[in-house]
Amino acid sequence: MKKLMLGNEAVARGLYEAGVKLVSSYPGTPSTEVTEAAAKYEEIYAEWAPNEKVALEVALGAAIGGGRSFCGMKHVGLNVAADPLFITAYTGVNGGMVIGVADDPGMHSSQNEQDSRHYARAAKLPIVEPSDSGECLEFTKLAYEYSEKFDTPFILRLNTRVSHSQSLVELSERAEKDVKPYEKSVAKHVMMPANARGRHVVVEDRLKELSAFACDCPFNKVVDNNTKLGIITSGPSYTYALEVFGDSASYLKLGLVYPFADELIKDFAAKHERVIVIEELDPFIEEHCKALGLNVEGKNLLPLLGEFSQELIAEKLLDKSAEFTALDEAIPVRPPVLCPGCPHRGIFYIFKKLGLYVSGDIGCYTLGAAAPLSAMDTTLCMGASISALHGYNKIRGEENKSVAVIGDSTFMHSGMTGLVNITYNKGNSTVVIVDNSITGMTGHQQNPCTGFTLKGEPVHGIMLENIARAAGVADEHIRIVDPNNLKEVEKVLKEELNSGTPSVIICRKPCALLKYVKHEPALKVDTDKCIGCKACMKIGCPCISVVNGKAKIDATLCVGCGLCPQMCPKDAIKGGM
């Protein structure tokens, strides 16, 4: 049966067909739907871990235990999981293991552009890269087979375009795999120096075997069309190149990117007068070709930054530019904004009003950095809001004028260790946790605080206030507020900033997009009372604009959250229509 499937869904289907037993992941665009789709198969145990390091360790434990396992993350997640990643090469697996990592060239939804292939080389692990949904399914299944054969995890490198494009895939049945027997092996699984020295030998030997395998494996493919132009490529770049050159070029499409198929590459290069490497981000394949002494082109013609497309390749390699029509005037940009009724809006207005230094973090609330709220000084990496504020305050001593702001999922991911650092090291900083009871930015995943698992089972949700208490914050400095009550938020914030002791303020109100959140009827501006002062517009709600000198609320968008009436000096905004 053929089905139109998202690349991520096809990976999940591959997990199902390969008989995978366990999936543990942390969400991150563009990888999230792999795990969401895997969770829909009853045969697969699937969970959201609090962060990627935990997820990878869970998957490794399952593989050592003899079951096929998977863990998925976005590119930056692999930075968090790098410690166990490197160890997996030494321990090897028992049941097959695949680590799915999705890169985001062009940064559609990321804080940096990062090329995960470097991790494969650094950790000495094989990495495979599909080009479309069909290959997502096929490569996933093959990766499990060879993971067990070579006793190593495989990295499956995805990419925004592959993850989030649908194409046709051929479905098969699940091949159920029994859990393999577990044999205790201290030399293989206890990584202390004496054992690890022995395992490093295994790692290097395995890499050599994999490199030979790469020259004759089902992942790599040569399409021989002529001897003039040869293109070495992988992943989505292959589809762009195909669209531009069709059969006027030959292709070496690397599905198993590392370890390199040296003989295959040399052979292909020798057969073509001109060889160009087409790869997004870093010159990973190109540099290796050059190290092999081959005369190839690549980044001398194509950019290091951003996403490729057939337009870009035609322009850079054939000097062809697109023909198109455009209007003469500038079209205003449409950046993302906090949703109407978003519970994060009010606190950022208060931060700005009080002129605070805001050590920010990653989530929907990062949008508090944008105009008109403009209330964020830094956004680094997940969890860094709290730890970096501590460093800032140790240098500047501005505890009464600075806060960290972090979401519930991000706090559980890697914020709580920063809080422990503050209390332990005699810091006095104020941490605001914006608890909207969900992992919002990545499309609403459950987390340890929400009371539900990935599979939708109810559990005892962890209370953030209990973690704050356990971390050593005094009870009277753990405050819980309704973020839509602006007066209260301002009062509590001022008290804690001046308290001279570590404090945690939990802004608790669920995300406006959650199904169980009931919306109120749209509010309306009384145009007789409105003086056109634009005070209501300071909170940056996309429903409010000024028409003929008076505020106007778009009734199709407003969810009646009640925030804007608190801004109006003339009491002109009222409920009901």
Partner 1 sequence: MGKNIMIVGVGGQGSLLASRILGNAVMLEGYDVKVSEVHGMSQRGGSVVTYVKFGESVASPVICKGEADIIMSFELLEAARWLPYLKKDGTIITNTQQINPMPVITGAAEYPADLVEKMRAKGVNVIAADALSIAREAGSEKAVNVALIGLMSHALGFDRDTLVKAIKMSVPEKFLELNMKAFELGEAGSAQ
Which residues lie near ligand TPP (CB under 6 A)?
26-28, 74, 76-77, 80, 362-365, 382, 407-410, 436, 438-442
Q: Given the complex with ligand TPP, which of 64 and 358 has the nearer CB atom?
A: 358
In the block, tokens 């697109």 appear at: 322
Based on the shown chain and the rule CB under 8 A, indicate whether residue 242 belongs to the binding site for partner 1. yes
Q: Is 561 in the site for ligand SF4 (CB under 6 A)?
A: yes
The option from partner 1, ligand TPP, ligand SF4, none interacting with 537 (CB < 5 to 8 A, set by class) reads partner 1
Pick from 65, 124, 71, 125: which is nearest to 102 by CA?
71
Please, what is the minimum distance in Å from the beta carbon of residue 532 to ligand SF4?
A: 16
| Binding characters for ligand SF4, 333-372, by CB under 6 A (x = yes) | -----xxxxx-x-------------------x--------
Q: Which is nearer to ligand SF4, 422 or 572 (CB)?
A: 572
- Per CB under 6 A, the list member of 158, 242, 559, 568 interacting with ligand SF4 is 559
- Segment interacting with partner 1, rule: CB under 8 A, options 264-272, 430-438, 441-449, 468-476: 441-449
Name the minimum Å distance from CB 391 to partner 1: 28
Q: Which does 558 bind (CB under 5 to 8 A by kind): partner 1, ligand SF4, ligand TPP, none?
A: ligand SF4
How far is the C-alpha of 27 from the C-alpha of 32, rounded, in Å?
Answer: 5
Residues 12-71 that bind partner 1 (CB under 8 A): 29-30, 32-33
Residue number, 106 or 502, with CB nearest to partner 1: 106
d(CA 309, CA 236) in angstroms, rounded, equals 9
Instruction: Using alpha carbons, select from 359, 363, 365, 374 the residue that is nearest to residue 404.
Output: 359
Nearer to ligand SF4, 6 or 338 (CB): 338
Q: Which residue, judged by CB position, is nearest to ligand TPP in the bound state?
A: 407
Residue 250 as a binder of partner 1 (CB under 8 A): the answer is no
Question: Running DSSP on this structure, what letter comes out for residue 181?
Answer: P
Angle between helices 133-150 and 7-17 (to 10 degrees): 40
Q: What CA–CA distance (Å, rounded) separates 120 from 284?
A: 11
Rounded Cα distance between 88 and 53, Å, is 12
Stretch touching partner 1 by CB under 8 A, among 56-64, 285-293, 298-306, 554-562: 554-562
343 binds partner 1 (CB under 8 A): no
User: Which of the residues 348 through 407 are near partner 1 (CB under 8 A)?
Assistant: 364, 367, 370-372
Q: How far is CA 445 from CA 36, 45, 312, 338, 466, in A?
A: 9, 16, 35, 18, 22
Decide: is 513 part of the binding site for ligand SF4 (CB under 6 A). yes
Instruction: Indicate the residue among 362 and 558 with the shorter CB distance to ligand TPP.
Output: 362
Contact 141, 114 (CB under 8 A): no
CB of 311 to partner 1, least distance (A): 3
Residues 6+ away with beta carbon under 8 Å from 392:
357, 359, 398, 402
Non-local (6+) Cβ contacts of 125 within 8 A are 85, 88, 89, 99, 119, 152, 153, 154, 155, 258
HEC profile of 124-146: CCCEECCCCHHHHHHHHHHHHHH
* Bond preceding residue 372 cis, omega within 30 of 0: yes
218 or 443: whose CB is closer to partner 1?
A: 443
Site string for partner 1, 218-237 (x = CB under 8 A): ------------------x-
HSE (CB half, 13 Å, CA atoms) of 388?
18
- Beta carbon of residue 54, minimum distance to ligand TPP (angstroms, whole number): 12
Measured between its terminal Cα atoms, the distance across the chain in Å is 52
Extract the tokens encoding 311.
Answer: 């337009």
Q: Are 519 and 557 in contact (CB under 8 A)?
A: no
Name the site residues for ligand SF4 (rule: CB under 6 A).
338-342, 344, 364, 436, 440, 511-513, 523, 541, 543-544, 553, 558-564
The residue ranges that bind partner 1 (CB under 8 A) are 4, 6, 29-30, 32-33, 108-109, 132, 161, 164-168, 236, 239-240, 242-243, 309-311, 322-339, 364, 367, 370-372, 441-443, 537, 540, 542, 544-546, 554, 556-557
